[in-house]
């Protein structure tokens, strides 16, 4: 099951209480106070792990609590420190704090091993040994442990990919990612075959590779929640280049120019909830990203005029067009090289 957004509650452990105790030894009258301190409560951390690719582990277990600290004991023995709780999330997870209607970004875990403390354990209370004085040699005062920090969090996964494929359902995106990488997405001749995003690694040679993402097909009104695209458009926000996969054949029953224009509109209008974009560091809109276009299914093109009209329209938008057949692989190598050039250019630091 692919889960890319969950709400969870985390509570760090409370600190242990301090202890009231006095020395009681034969031959040592009036032994002084020796109550130990309470131990600190455990904290809760989130860590980006390469062994996670979905947030499904949090969907059915949304409450997390770390161990509390042990209470202090006599003979100046401090209580045991509560064990920390480490929660693994997929790389690319955004962490938000939720307080009523207020949603604020706390962290963006993009690198494997990167971690953040989301709830700090409470400090332990002091034992009575700390309160002895010249006028109060037998103090019975201690401190209670401090409560651990509690929070409501929203975890949102945005896949880490260099290239994102966008297009109408059944345009051939899954076939293309299968042709270019070792990914094995479900491929069938009906719309919405892809229900969750797919990732594939494209190897150009020993020193060049990039990650390709295929998201479920978009339809007009996707940014408003129509179809499946609304849930997964956010996964394209980290990509360096977007590739329009357009069905150039007549089998779709649609005009390829209309398909291109509709998808561009959906990219421009996402997100439908501006507050989430404002709370996120990923402020660039999808429509501002570098874009390429693919005229797919050239092997079954009956009307060359469809390709000519689409090429002219894309030239007006300064978007390069690559005619290919994802099934046979014709033209795919040139497309890969074009993707790499855009990725390389996007990765260079500004002058």
List, run by run, the mean pLDDT of 10-residue segments along the chain (351 residues): 85 97 79 92 95 88 96 94 96 92 92 95 96 89 96 90 88 89 64 65 88 74 52 77 93 89 83 48 67 93 92 94 94 94 75 43
In the chain, CATH 2.70.210.12 covers 5-157
129 to 29, 36, 37, 160, 262: CA distances (angstroms): 17, 7, 9, 54, 73
Structure tokens at 229: 């695209």
Q: Using CB atoms within 10 Å of the CB of residue 88, give its burial: 0 to 12 exposed, 13 to 18 middle, 19+ buried.
A: middle
What are the start-end ranges of the E strands in the chain?
5-11, 44-48, 63-65, 85-89, 93-99, 102-109, 115-119, 150-157, 163-166, 198-205, 208-214, 241-247, 291-296, 321-323
> What is the pLDDT, as a whole number, of residue 272?
43
Chain CA centroid to CA 15, Å: 32
> What is the pLDDT, as a whole number, of residue 274?
45
Nearest C-alpha neighbor of 271 from the set 319, 243, 229, 240:
229
- 49-60 in b/e form (b: 16+ CB < 10 A) is beebebbeebee
Neighbours of 80 (CB within 10 A): 17
Going 247 to 250 to 251 to 254, the CA torsion angle's sign is positive
In the chain, CATH 3.40.50.300 covers 163-347
> What is the pLDDT, as a whole number, of residue 40?
97
> What is the pLDDT, as a whole number, of residue 105?
92
Residue identified by tokens 């040679």 is 205
Structure tokens at 329: 């692989």
Instruction: For residue 272, report the phi and psi dihedrals to the nearest 5 degrees.
Output: -70, -20
Classify domain 163-347 by CATH architecture: 3-Layer(aba) Sandwich (3.40)
Alpha helices in the chain (DSSP H): 56-59, 173-180, 229-232, 256-269, 274-279, 304-316, 332-347
> What is the pLDDT, as a whole number, of residue 281?
47
Structure tokens at 114: 């990167």
Q: Please, what is the Cα angle at 306 between 301 and 311, to 5 degrees? A: 115
> What is the pLDDT, as a whole number, of residue 230?
56
Asked whether 162 and 343 are in contact (CB, 8 A), the reply is: yes
CATH 2.70.210.12 is the classification of domain 5-157: yes
Going 224 to 225 to 229 to 232, the CA torsion angle's sign is positive
- From the CA atom positions of the chain, what is the Rg in Å? 29
Assess whether the previous peptide bond of 191 is cis (omega < 30° from 0): no
Structure tokens at 301: 């093109």
Rounded to the nearest 10 degrees, the angle between the axes of helix 256-269 and helix 304-316 is 30
Half-sphere exposure of 100 (CA within 13 A, CB side): 1
């Amino acid at each position: 099951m692919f889960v890319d957004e969950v709400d969870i509650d985390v509570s760090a452990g409370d600190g242990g209480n301090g202890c009231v105790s006095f020395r009681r030894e034969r031959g040592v009258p009036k032994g002084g106070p020796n109550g130990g301190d309470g131990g600190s409560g455990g904290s809760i951390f989130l860590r980006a792990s390469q062994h996670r690719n979905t947030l499904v582990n949090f969907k059915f277990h949304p409450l997390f609590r770390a161990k509390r600290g042990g209470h202090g004991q006599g003979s100046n023995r401090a209580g045991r420190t509560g064990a920390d709780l480490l929660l693994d999330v997929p790389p690319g997870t955004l962490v938000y704090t939720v307080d009523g209607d207020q949603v604020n970004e706390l962290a963006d875990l993009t690198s494997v091993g990167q971690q953040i403390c989301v709830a700090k354990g409470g400090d332990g209370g002091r034992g009575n040994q700390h309160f002895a004085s010249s006028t109060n040699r037998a103090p019975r005062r201690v401190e209670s442990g401090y409560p651990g920090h509690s929070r409501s969090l929203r975890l949102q996964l945005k896949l880490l990919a260099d290239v994102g494929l966008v297009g109408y359902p059944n345009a051939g995106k899954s076939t293309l990612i299968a042709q270019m990488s070792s990914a094995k997405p479900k491929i069938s001749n009906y719309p919405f075959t892809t229900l969750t995003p797919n990732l594939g690694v494209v190897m150009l040679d020993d020193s060049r590779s990039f990650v390709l993402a295929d998201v479920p097909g978009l339809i007009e009104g996707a940014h408003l929640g129509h179809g499946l695209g609304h849930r997964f458009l956010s996964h394209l926000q980290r990509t360096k280049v977007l590739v329009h996969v357009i069905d150039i054949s007549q089998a779709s029953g649609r005009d390829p120019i209309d398909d291109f224009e509709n998808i561009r509109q959906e990219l421009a209008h996402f997100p439908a909830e501006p507050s989430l974009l404002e709370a996120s560091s990923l402020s660039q809109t999808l429509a501002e990203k570098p874009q390429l276009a693919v005229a797919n299914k050239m092997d079954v093109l009956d009307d060359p005029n469809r390709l000519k009209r689409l090429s002219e329209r894309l030239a007006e938008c300064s978007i390069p067009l690559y005619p290919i057949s994802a099934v046979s692989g014709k033209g795919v190598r040139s497309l890969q090289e074009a993707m790499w050039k855009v990725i390389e250019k996007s990765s260079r630091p500004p002058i």
